[in-house]
Amino acid sequence: MQRPIIDLRSDTVTKPTEAMLKAMVEAEVGDDVYGEDPTVNRLESMAAEILGKEAALFVTSGTQGNQVAVLTHCRSGDEVILEADSHIFYYESGAVAALAGVQTRTLPGSRGALDPEQVKRAIRGKNIHYPRTALVCMENTHNRAGGAVITPEQMRGVYQAAKERGVAVHLDGARLFHAAVALGRKAEEFARYTDSVQICLSKGLCAPMGSILAGSRAFIEEARWWRKKLGGGMRQAGYMAAPGIVALTEMVDRLAEDHRRAKELAAGLSKLPLTVYPVETNIVLVDTRATGYTAVEFLDKLAAYGVRATDFDEYLVRFTTHYHIGDSDIAETLNIVERVIG
C-alpha cells in the first residue's frame, strides 16, 4: 500500500481551504492597475488596519514585497543593515544588489534578533568615504533561527536606534502572525516599530499566493509604482485577493495548533539521538550530527517512508508544521524517524 506523504518541508505547501475556493469563485473583480478591483481594495484596507498602517499593497510574493520595500526606501549605493541569516540577505537571489543596487551590512543576531547597540554602531555617520545607511531590516518570526519570535520590546530597541539617526525600518514579517499568536499579542504591536512591513498570505495562512506590504500612504503610493515597474501590476487580481481576505479573517488564530504540534514533534525528536533547537512557533530545527547522517542522507531515509523535510545546512534539518499536518501525522513522523535512525 502506498503511504501518504507527510510534507513537512514548508508551510508554503498549504493549499487553499474550501472557504477560500468559494470566495475566489464569488469574488467581485475589476482592473487593479486602474485601482478598480473592489476585492483587492478590500484586502488592502483590511490588512492596513490589522497592521496599524495607513495603507497596504497586494504583491505577488514575499520576495516582491521585500524588494519593493527596499527599492522604495533606498537609492542605488545606499547601505542596508540586515541580520546575517535573514531571508532578504540569504534567500532572495541577490535581488537587493541586482535591483536596488544597495550594499548590505550584515550583523549576527541572537536567535534572529538584532542588538540595538550593534545597529547603532553600524549606522554610518557623515563622511565623504561612507555610503548612506538608508534602511534597517528585521525578520519576525526568524526563519533560519528556527521560527524564533522577536518581541515587540526587542523590536522597539532596534527601531529607536534607527530612528535616532533618521534611518527607515522594514520588517520582513512573512510569518508575523506566528509571532503574534505565540505571544498572544496583536500584529500591530510589532508593526508599530517599523516604517514598512511585509506579511505572507500564502504560508501558514493557506492562501494560494500573495503578500501584503504596508506602510504610510506616501510610502505605499511610491511602492505601487515600483511594483508596476517590476511587472507586479495585476489586473483582475481580486480572484487572488479573495482567499487573502479569508486568510486574514479565518486562518490566524488556528496557527496556535501548528505551534502545539511543532512542540510535540520537537519533544518526541529530542528523545532520539538528535539535537533539537528551541521551538517557539511552527518550525523545528534538528541537528543530525549525532546520528552520523548528514541532513541530505537523513532526509533521503525519511523520504523512503513518505516523510519530507528540508535541509538547512550540512547537518541541519527543518520540519515545518501547517494546516494539513494533523496529530496523527506527528505521531507517524516520530515513528518513522525512530525507525530510520534507531
Ligand X SMILES: *Cc1c(COP(=O)(O)O)cnc(C)c1O
Any contact of residue 174 with ligand X (CB under 6 A)? yes
The single-letter code of the amino acid at 99 is: L
Count of residues touching ligand X (by CB under 6 A): 11
Given a contact cutoff of 8 angstroms between Cβ atoms, the answer to whether 149 and 132 are in contact is no
To ligand X, the closest distance from the beta carbon of 88 in angstroms equals 7
- For position 172 contacting ligand X by CB under 6 A, the verdict is yes
> How many of the other CB atoms lie within 10 Å of CB of 56?
24
Q: How far apart are CA 175 and CA 204, in angstroms?
A: 8
Stretch that binds ligand X, among 56-64, 94-102, 120-128, 276-284 (CB under 6 A): 56-64
Rounded Cα distance, 200 and 14, in Å: 12
Mind giving me the DSSP string for 197-263? EEEESSSTT--SS-EEEEE-HHHHHHHHHHHHHTT---SSTHHHHHHHHHHHHHSSTTHHHHHHHHH
Nearest approach, Cβ of residue 67 and ligand X (Å): 9
187 vs 200 by CB, closer to ligand X: 200
Choose which of 61, 151, 270, 335 interacts with ligand X (CB under 6 A). 61
Report if residue 143 touches ligand X, rule: CB under 6 A: yes
CB of residue 157 to ligand X, shortest distance in Å: 20
139 binds ligand X (CB under 6 A): yes
Q: Name the residue number minimizing CB distance to ligand X.
A: 62
Close Cβ partners of 231 (under 8 Å, ≥ 6 residues apart): none
User: What does the CA dihedral 268, 274, 275, 276 come to, rounded to 10 degrees?
Assistant: -30
Smaller CB separation from ligand X, 211 or 281: 211
87 sits near ligand X (criterion: CB under 6 A) = yes
Where does this chain bind ligand X (CB under 6 A)?
Answer: 61-63, 66, 87, 139, 143, 172, 174, 200, 211
